[in-house]
Amino acid sequence: MRKVIVATLALTPMLLHAQANSPAQTPSNPPAPLHSKLIQPKEFNSSEADHGTVAPIRISTGVVAPKLISTVQIESDSDRASFPVDRKTKVAMTVDATGKPSELKILQSLGPVMDRNVLAAVSRYRFTPGTLDGAPTAVPVDLEVVLRTPAR
């Protein structure tokens, strides 16, 4: 048993040295880059092909979310001065491949007048489009809009 331990301790530095000095092996053909693709069954695609629309892609592996690059001032309603705190609303939309929002829908209401004003302003917002493997694509987005109370 003692001989095995001594042999192991004696050989360990040589094995480590041999491993550290061995040339790195590089493959002759580097691996191809990985691409992710979402594939839908033909049954789901047939209804979209009839209408000429493409379903938006959910944020997942290989999909980059759109980024807001341009906003528009939201017109206030007459009741805004009576609110002492900031108000929040949520808007669901699809940002298309050109960066324009479409299919806007209020998720959290501020009242009919403010909802109409928010939708009008958000429809003029601009985004960098979402991408799938570098190609622009439509992506659903839930946007939270905060209406700040002016400082007095």
Question: Measuring CA to CA, how many Å separate 147 from each of 63, 76, 77, 85, 123?
Answer: 30, 9, 11, 9, 16
pLDDT digits 0-9 by tens, 27-75: 555 555 555 455 555 544 444 444 445 566 666 677 888 999 988 888 8
- Beta pairing partners, 142: 92
Just give the CATH number of 55-152: 3.30.2420.10
pTM over 0.85: no
Place 129 in a pLDDT band, splitting at 50, 70 and 90.
Answer: very high
Determine the average pLDDT of the residues in 89-116.
Answer: 92
